[in-house]
Structures are given as C-alpha cells and as structure tokens.
Amino acid sequence: MPAPVQGAQVVSRVSHVLRIVGEHAPQGVSTAMVATEAGLTRPTAHRLLSSLAAEGFVDHDGRGRWLLGPELYLLGTLAADRYDITELARESVRVLARETGESAFLSVRRGYETVCLLREEGSFPVRSFVLYEGVRFPLGVASAGIAILAFAPEDEIDGYLEGSPLEARWGPQHSSDAIRERLAVTRETGYSVNPGLILEGSWGMGAAIFDDTGAPAWALSLTGIESRFRPERQPELGRLLLEQAHLVTQRLRSARP
C-alpha cells in the first residue's frame, strides 16, 4: 500500500523549493539560500532537497549548489506539446529585437505570475537586464504581466488585486488603484507600458498572446532604457508588439489539432 499523504503543506513546500531552484538556474543555489527564500530551517530545506535529488528532480553539483534534475527535463518534454509555444513564438521575438533594436521576450502565465521563456538581444548597445530567462514577476508588475492581467476577466482581476500585497513588496506605484489605471490604459491601446517601475530608467512594453479559448496566456515584450521608450516612439513599438502577438496567436490556433 502507498504511504499516506502527509498533507497539502508538504506539497506546497516541495513546489516552493523546486521553484526556487528553478529561479536560480543555471548557476544553482545553496541549501542556505533555499532555506532563506522558502522560510524553512536549513535542515528542513536540506531534507527536502535530498529527497528531490533521490527522485531525480534536482541535482547536487558537488560544490554545494542545487540544480534542476533530469526527471524535470523528461516531464517537461512530455508537457511541451501542450504548454510550450517557444518554437511558434521564436521568430516573432527575433523580429521584435531586429526591428526595434531592443531586448525582446516571450513570457508565459503561471498562476498569478509570469515566467520569462525566451530572450533575444537587439542591436542597441545599452540594455536592461531586469528580465531574463527563468525570472518570475507577479501579474501586474512587469509589462508582460500587465498585458496579460489587463485582458483577464474582471472578477479575476478584482480577486487578485484584493488578495495580493503588491504595494507592500513593490512600492506605492503598485497599489491596486495604480495598477487598475495601467490596466485600463492597456485595454484601450492594446499594449502595456511599464515606465521604469521595477528599476528606475528601465522601461518595458508588452502585448498579450491568447490561447484557443481566448484567454491571455503569454505575452511578448520589449525592454530598454527610458530614452528609447519616449511617448512619440511608443505607438510604433506598440504596433509591432500587437502585430507579432497576433501572429503568434494565429500560429498557435493553427497548430492545435
């Protein structure tokens, strides 16, 4: 007989630990850092990591750092047909980087976060490094998350903003009222603008990609320095983002059986 499940708290802790290891890919993360970020004691963190390693979900590199393991890769390849649109979006990310000179990205929605999947550098020599592959941001914070949240159902937006302490973590510019204003502008223009709210001087713009049910599930975005996102240039950047996001949405629907 299988051992009894010890409770949802164990699943939550294990999931949190795995996400932390993933956020520190590919360089890996120490047991102490996992414990700190997960709010666990070091022995508990080590016990969870060791158990995950025994199942192949994480690896220990012999230098005291934990990395994602081979079992996750195998499971990921099986799930890719359903969730991974990177190949369908790769050309659009390249087009955005080439046409604008800025850094271009593809991000996916996971729960109430976005995760960056692809990055392509543009030709402009000064870049922003706020966004990179694997980094996560809450919805409504980075430009991709603003673009996605703007087109979510209104009751979902209400519940999320009421239950998420974004202002406490990210500052007064992320109060519910301030986010709602940005969402309203995004719905009006079709694209989002993040005017240096995460890192001063680092701007971003984004456009949502919709799944076959019409839900915003991914986003294309651009980031760069403030002088490259002045008001007179934003409509052109927004047009390019919307054009490529629409193309990816159409490719996605055509690829579905």
pLDDT in tens, 31-78: 999 999 989 999 999 999 999 999 999 998 878 899 988 888 777 766
CA distance 219 to 206: 6
Work out the number of other CB atoms within 10 angstroms of the CB of residue 40: 18
Task: Give the residue-averaged pLDDT of 164-190.
Answer: 93
- Asked if 82 and 241 count as a contact pair (C-beta separation under 8 A), the reply is no
| Average pLDDT, rounded, for the chain | 88
The domain segmentation of the chain, as residue ranges, is 8-74, 84-255
CA distance 162 to 148: 17
Per the DSSP assignment, residues forming a β-bridge with 58 are 68
pLDDT digits (tens, 9 = 90+) for 191-223: 999 999 888 889 999 999 999 889 999 999 999
CA distance 125 to 142: 22
Per the DSSP assignment, residues forming a β-bridge with 115 are 108, 136
Closest CA relative to residue 239, chosen from 217, 222, 252, 215: 222
Q: 8 or 107: which carries more pLDDT confidence? A: 107
What CATH number labels 84-255? Answer: 3.30.450.40
| φ/ψ bin of 64: left (φ > 0), alpha (ψ from -120 to 50), beta (otherwise) | left
pTM of this structure: 0.73
Q: 82 or 10: which carries more pLDDT confidence? A: 10
Residue 2: the pLDDT is 41
- CA pseudo-torsion sign 154, 211, 208, 68: positive
Residue corresponding to tokens 């980075």: 142
- Asked if 127 and 199 count as a contact pair (C-beta separation under 8 A), the reply is no
| φ/ψ bin of 60: left (φ > 0), alpha (ψ from -120 to 50), beta (otherwise) | beta
- Asked if 136 and 21 count as a contact pair (C-beta separation under 8 A), the reply is no
Domain 8-74 and domain 84-255 have a common topology: no
- Asked if 136 and 119 count as a contact pair (C-beta separation under 8 A), the reply is no
- Asked if 123 and 192 count as a contact pair (C-beta separation under 8 A), the reply is no
- Residue 233 carries which side chain, given as an amino acid letter? R
Taking domain 8-74, whether its CATH number is 1.10.10.10 is answered by yes
